[in-house]
């Protein structure tokens, strides 16, 4: 059961967290506004449209990204303030154990973790969808896939030279190989289609093909047909040929699982990104507990002259956490590291460090 002193600490944690969150987001918004002011002017959007279609999504995205930093700063500031007023000394001297003192801290952090889960599972996908829709339309980014080869649907292998998934209008030098099973269950090439250019849209599976060569492998011999133009329907659409990797951040977990299963059938390189996004939706909020323990142990008993050093160590710890997180993600997407381990290794490293500090902390 929580007592008055517990609610006192919990309120301090929540108030400090909100204050640091709002303050940091305000600074980030100013920098983002100054960086993209030309894009905002050229977009010819009203202030309300910019707020609803970009800034709300951007705030949710950035706020969620920096939750670990906000939580650590919050815990460090609250603990330092209590320590400077000798309140922690008074609490421990009254017979309350150090472990009991941790309870209100973790209750306060638990409320923030619950809020983080709510954002990750419900608000973040929708926010990212509106933010990315603005970025796709008004900001430049690399959007050309080249030399791609994969199974787009079972039995259909697609290869192409170039495809701009931002424009989502055409594919150059596209091959479509169709495979079927014989009576022994073995696959064989049944037909092949080559188009110099394939024009389509993001909604349907209708294509307008230019300079087309169709080849059918028959028992009596190959049949080759050529067309200058061919309007046809294929078992896939342009959106199936590739998307921006960041599109996974716009999906809910059930959509991510379905998307992963679909991309696995293709042998797509985006599968690790999808799995990392799935695991990160849970790992990132839970990491806040570890960072909270780290912050308490670092700031529970520093001398007054070392307050600045303590805050600096806290920020450095979060920076290292982000570095480990980025390193493991890159290793998973490029070198085949298990995606579950890639997401959780930074948390395990941080937890080991937190336990080490907990053991060393005077109680």
**What pLDDT, in 10s, does the model give residues 79-117?**
888 888 888 888 888 888 888 888 999 999 999 999 999
Determine contact, residues 363/297, Cβ cutoff 8 Å.
Answer: no
What pLDDT is stored for residue 69 in this prediction? 85
What pLDDT is stored for residue 316 in this prediction? 79
Would you say residue 263 lies in a domain?
Answer: no
What pLDDT is stored for residue 269 in this prediction? 76
Residues 132 and 156 grouped into a single domain: no
Residues 119 and 20 grouped into a single domain: yes
Rounded to an integer, what distance in angstroms lies between the CA atom of residue 189 and that of residue 229? 24
What pLDDT is stored for residue 302 in this prediction? 54
Q: Return averaged pLDDT per consecutive 10 residues of the chain, 363 residues in all.
A: 86 92 90 86 85 90 89 88 83 84 92 94 91 79 74 84 81 90 82 90 86 88 88 85 81 92 79 91 92 85 58 75 83 84 90 86 72
Would you say residue 55 lies in a domain?
Answer: yes
What pLDDT is stored for residue 307 in this prediction? 57
Q: In 3-state terms, what secondary structure has residue 46? A: coil
Cβ contacts of 151 within 8 Å, gap of 6 or more: 157, 158, 265, 266, 267
Domain with 200, as residue range(s), is 144-243
Sheet with 144-153, side-by-side order of all strands: 144-153, 156-164, 170-181, 187-199, 206-218, 221-233
Kind plus residue range of the DSSP H or E element containing 5: helix 4-42
What pLDDT is stored for residue 88 in this prediction? 83
Nearest to 205 by CA among 175, 156, 229, 240: 240
Would you say residue 249 lies in a domain?
Answer: no
> Look-up: residue for tokens 């608000």?
123
- Classify strands 221-233 and 206-218 as parallel, antiparallel or unpaired: antiparallel
Instruction: Give 271-279 contacts, CB < 8 A, sequence gap 24+.
Output: 272/332, 272/333, 272/339, 273/245, 273/248, 273/333, 274/248, 275/339, 275/340, 276/329, 276/332, 276/333, 276/339, 276/342, 276/343, 277/248, 277/249, 277/251, 278/253, 279/339, 279/340, 279/343, 279/344
Would you say residue 175 lies in a domain?
Answer: yes
Residues 274 and 232 grouped into a single domain: no
Residues 193 and 312 grouped into a single domain: no
Residues 86 and 212 grouped into a single domain: no
Residues 123 and 85 grouped into a single domain: yes
Determine contact, residues 60/28, Cβ cutoff 8 Å.
Answer: no
Would you say residue 178 lies in a domain?
Answer: yes
Would you say residue 264 lies in a domain?
Answer: no
**What pLDDT, in 10s, does the model give residues 281-331?**
999 999 999 989 888 888 876 555 455 666 677 777 777 888 888 888 888
Token pair listed for 137: 């339309």
- How far the first Cα of the chain sits from its last, in Å, is 22
Residues 83 and 201 grouped into a single domain: no
Rounded to an integer, what distance in angstroms lies between the CA atom of residue 181 and that of residue 176? 17
What pLDDT is stored for residue 84 in this prediction? 80
How many domains is the chain partitioned into structurally? 2
Rounded to an integer, what distance in angstroms lies between the CA atom of residue 315 and that of residue 214? 61
Measured CA distances, 313 to 69, 222, 257 (Å): 12, 71, 38
Residues 134 and 153 grouped into a single domain: no
Rounded to an integer, what distance in angstroms lies between the CA atom of residue 74 and that of residue 362? 21
Residues 205 and 59 grouped into a single domain: no
Residues 350 and 311 grouped into a single domain: yes
Token pair listed for 108: 């306060």
Q: How far is CA 260 from the centre of its chain?
A: 14
Would you say residue 265 lies in a domain?
Answer: no
Rounded to an integer, what distance in angstroms lies between the CA atom of residue 159 and that of residue 247? 22
Residues 291 and 277 grouped into a single domain: yes
Threshold 0.75, pTM exceeds: yes
Residues 131 and 163 grouped into a single domain: no
Boundary residue ending a domain (226, 243, 260): 243
């Amino acid at each position: 059961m929580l007592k008055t002193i517990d609610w006192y600490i919990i309120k301090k944690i929540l108030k400090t967290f909100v204050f640091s969150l709002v303050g940091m987001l305000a600074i980030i918004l100013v920098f983002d506004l100054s960086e993209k002011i030309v894009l905002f002017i050229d977009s010819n959007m009203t202030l309300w449209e910019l707020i609803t279609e970009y800034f709300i999504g951007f705030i949710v995205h950035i706020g969620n990204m920096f939750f670990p930093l906000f939580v650590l700063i919050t815990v460090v500031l609250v603990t330092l303030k209590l320590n400077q007023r000798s309140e922690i000394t008074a609490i421990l001297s009254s017979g309350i154990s150090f472990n009991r003192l941790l309870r209100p801290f973790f209750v306060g952090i638990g409320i923030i973790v619950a809020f983080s889960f709510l954002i990750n599972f419900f608000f973040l996908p929708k926010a990212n969808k509106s933010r990315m829709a603005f970025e796709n339309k008004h900001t430049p980014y690399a959007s050309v896939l080249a030399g791609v080869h994969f199974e787009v649907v079972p039995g259909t292998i697609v290869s192409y030279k170039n495809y701009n998934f931002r424009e989502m209008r055409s594919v150059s030098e596209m091959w479509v190989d169709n495979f079927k099973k014989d009576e022994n269950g073995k696959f064989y090439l049944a037909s092949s289609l080559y188009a110099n250019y394939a024009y389509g849209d993001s909604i349907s599976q209708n294509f307008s093909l230019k300079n087309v060569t169709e080849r059918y492998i028959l028992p009596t011999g190959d049949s080759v047909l050529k067309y200058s133009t061919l309007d046809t329907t294929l078992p896939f659409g342009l959106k199936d040929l590739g998307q921006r990797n960041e599109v996974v951040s716009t999906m809910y977990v059930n959509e991510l699982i379905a998307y992963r299963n679909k991309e696995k059938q293709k042998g797509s390189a985006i599968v690790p990104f999808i799995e990392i996004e799935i695991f990160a939706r849970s790992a990132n909020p839970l990491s806040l507990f570890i960072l909270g323990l780290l912050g308490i142990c670092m700031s529970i008993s520093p001398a007054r002259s070392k307050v600045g050093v303590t805050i600096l160590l806290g920020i450095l710890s979060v920076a290292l956490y982000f570095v480990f997180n980025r390193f493991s993600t890159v290793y998973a997407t490029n070198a085949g590291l298990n995606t579950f381990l890639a997401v959780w290794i930074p948390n395990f490293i941080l937890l080991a460090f937190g336990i080490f500090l907990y053991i060393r902390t005077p109680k």
